[in-house]
A = this chain, B = another copy of it.
Amino acid sequence: MSPKITTELLKQLRQVMKSPRYVQEPVQAYIVPSGDAHQSEYIAPCDCRRAFISGFDGSAGTAIVTEQHAAMWTDGRYFLQAANQMDNNWTLMKMGLKDTPTQEDWLVSVLPEGSKVGVDPFIIPADQWKRMSKVLRSAGHDLVPVKENLIDTIWTDRPQRPCKPLIMLDLSYTGVSWRDKIVALRSKMAERKVLWFVVTALDEVAWLFNLRGSDVEYNPVFFAYAVIGMNTIRLFIDGDRMMDPAVREHLQLDSTLEPEFKIQVMPYGSILTELQAVSAGLSPKEKVWLSDKASYALTEAIPKAYRYLTPYTPICIAKAVKNALETEGMRRAHIKDAVALCELFNWLEKEVPKGTVTEIIAADKAEEFRSQQKDFVELSFATISSTGPNGAIIHYKPVPETNRTLSVNEIYLLDSGAQYKDGTTDVTRTMHFGTPSAYEKECFTYVLKGHIAVSAAIFPNGTKGHLLDSFARSALWDCGLDYLHGTGHGVGSFLNVHEGPCGISYKTFADEPLEAGMIVSDEPGYYEDGSFGIRIENVVLVIPAETKYNFKNRGSLTFEPLTLVPIQTKMIDVSLLTQKECNWVNDYHQKCREVIGAELERQGRREALRWLIRETEPLIKVQ
């Protein structure tokens, strides 16, 4: 993969940074954050401004361009990818390493006195604005909102904002109607004494109205905002999507409803002026609730005295706890997903030795098998299909320039998932189609021990996920190995594959406590740059646990794997497992055999069934 040549683009950007046509005063630095106006992780092509200016298209990263420098901050998942995709106009700032400066500190160190730092106020989250602005101000600089996005001014062939049809989810999928969700939200608002709630995150809008979209690849969301009052509902959405009779019926737009459930549909672009209008009508005790990660532009539209900001919104928290129907849907989706992967791995086992399967072919084949399953919608993220050294690029996506052929001599890592109408999947398996080396097996086994340590962990009700992160690392740490990413993320229910407010990571502290019904991933790994990558990932459901003493009735929790795909026993050095770990693997494989075996049988997939049975033979630990 050759880096994007950005010399000319940077020159153009530096010109508009001084052009009175776009900026009131010249800005000496311009920040290009990763997200869109909804602080989405996955974004539409029209919002890929950071990738456009730098070439680096990983899911996380912030670019800052000054008159002299261009620098990119990203985390451990993307160090290799970013280094490969950017030309030498760019400096890579490796977040999480001790000597890497923060964006603010770096700006202070390179800017001339009294500089202005520009940013699009719709793209930068308010909490980040506040932090940066404070540091810059104390060093004599100014963070300033630049109304027109400067990247857009130089991006001649920028794509249109998508506006695709909506999908309606009925009660059999969601378990709760949008009306009941509004009622629950209003009761949370009443508890906190707020009169208005602004829904800014795309997955929160989708969840609230039991609608899905396809405006953003992989995330079944659509561009919209909502403003919920105690008696009003305003939905800001563009296009003729509201003309669809099915949508109108779903939202009861033409029914005679109680006024407090009547949805007013408004243009997407009118959110700012509407919010300003709402704010203008407020009296001192009337608050507006929004996420502290909402854009600076929307946050500023509400006078400070009326703002009620929280790190997680009540929708974010309600959405994370799946109800019985959502959980059932997730189970069904994971069974179908496992069927597809059994087919895939069986196929790979036969085809890889022929030397004809590339990473892209394998990824496409995975998608093909998934698409055969009922209620399949699309993939839930770009398939990470990586063999040998590509496996060490943590969020690798095969492209023709890097596309490697799978072989019996290299480890193959497949991290993939899909959106089904009944649930979202995300699973990683690391396989060897020949004979793994002792070192590869050793590393794989440590990762497996970490995976089991989290999956089998028992902990009291109210424990935050970040407290479990070290369990995943302990076996690796004992030998002086580690991995530079978190261990797990929340997973949506036919929604974003990454969602808050819970997860398992050493990097967060403000996560919400885990509770029964939440769904997270468990995915420790180990990466050897230039050689191979290993990761073992299941999606797991938080469930009540039975313990001898039950935490003085506080209650116990543990995890139940929803993912039911065999873990390649060939990669395991059984001598490194404890008997308990060995039993865990055998019990897990027994369950895969029973549940997925029955579905393979039902679908008449005999060959994949034989593969499953072979791959789930119990491990035997020699005492």
Interface set of A (CB-CB < 8 Å, partner B): 98, 138, 140, 284-285, 305, 308, 457-460, 462, 464, 467-471, 473-474, 477-482, 506, 509, 513, 547-551, 554, 556, 578
Contacts and interface: CB of A to CB of B under 8 A. Distances in A.
Contact of A478 (B482, B506, B547): B547
A10 to B, nearest CB: 30
A550 B480 contact: yes
A547 B468 contact: no
Contacts of A460: 477, 480, 482
A76 to B, nearest CB: 12
A459 B477 contact: yes
A32 B582 CA distance: 56
Q: Considering residues A140, A471, A547, which has the most beta carbons from chain B within 10 angstroms of its beta carbon?
A: A547
Contacts of A578: 578
Contacts of A468: 470
Given A477-B457, A480-B550, A467 B506 contact: yes
A547 B467 CA distance: 24
Contacts of A470: 467-468, 470-471
A457 B474 contact: yes
A98 B554 CA distance: 11
A304 to B, nearest CB: 9
A101 B481 CA distance: 42
B458 A551 contact: no
Contacts of A554: 482
Contacts of A305: 138
Contacts of A308: 138
A462 B549 contact: no
B140 A479 contact: no
Nearest to A137: B305
Contacts of A506: 464, 467
B284 A480 contact: no
A113 B284 CA distance: 12
A284 B467 contact: no
Contact of A480 (B98, B482, B548): B548
Q: Which 7 A-B pairs have the closest CB atoms?
A: A480-B547, A509-B509, A480-B549, A480-B550, A479-B548, A467-B470, A480-B551
How many monomers of this chain does the complex have? 2
Contacts of A285: 140
A153 to B, nearest CB: 35
Q: Which of A138, A457, A471, A480 has the most CB of B within 10 A?
A: A480
A71 to B, nearest CB: 21
A518 to B, nearest CB: 16
Given A467-B469, A470-B468, A509-B509, A481 B551 contact: yes
A599 B140 CA distance: 61
Contact of A98 (B140, B458, B462, B549): B462
A144 to B, nearest CB: 19
Given A464-B506, A481-B551, A509-B509, 4 more contacts: A459-B477, A467-B469, A480-B547, A481-B549
A268 to B, nearest CB: 30
A587 B506 CA distance: 32
A138 B551 CA distance: 38
A482 B138 contact: no
Contacts of A479: 547-549
A477 B462 contact: no
Contacts of A509: 509
A578 B578 CA distance: 10
Nearest to A468: B470
Nearest to A453: B474
A523 to B, nearest CB: 18
Nearest to A467: B470
A480 B556 contact: yes
13 contacts: A457-B477, A459-B477, A464-B506, A470-B470, A471-B474, A477-B556, A478-B547, A479-B549, A480-B548, A480-B551, A481-B549, A482-B551, A482-B554
A81 B550 CA distance: 25
A470 B460 CA distance: 12
Nearest to A462: B98
A284 B140 CA distance: 9
Contacts of A459: 473, 477
Contacts of A480: 458, 460, 547-551, 556
A227 to B, nearest CB: 21
Nearest to A546: B480
Contacts of A138: 305, 308
Nearest to A284: B140
Contacts of A549: 479-481
A331 B70 CA distance: 51
A167 to B, nearest CB: 37
Nearest to A138: B305
Nearest to A285: B140
A140 B457 CA distance: 45
Nearest to A98: B462
Contacts of A551: 480-482
Contacts of A457: 474, 477
A464 B513 CA distance: 21
Contacts of A473: 459
A25 to B, nearest CB: 20
A482 B138 CA distance: 44
Contacts of A140: 284-285
Interface centre among A308, A470, A513 (most CB of B within 10 A): A470
Contacts of A550: 480
A459 B474 CA distance: 8
Nearest to A578: B578
Nearest to A548: B479
A547 B470 CA distance: 17
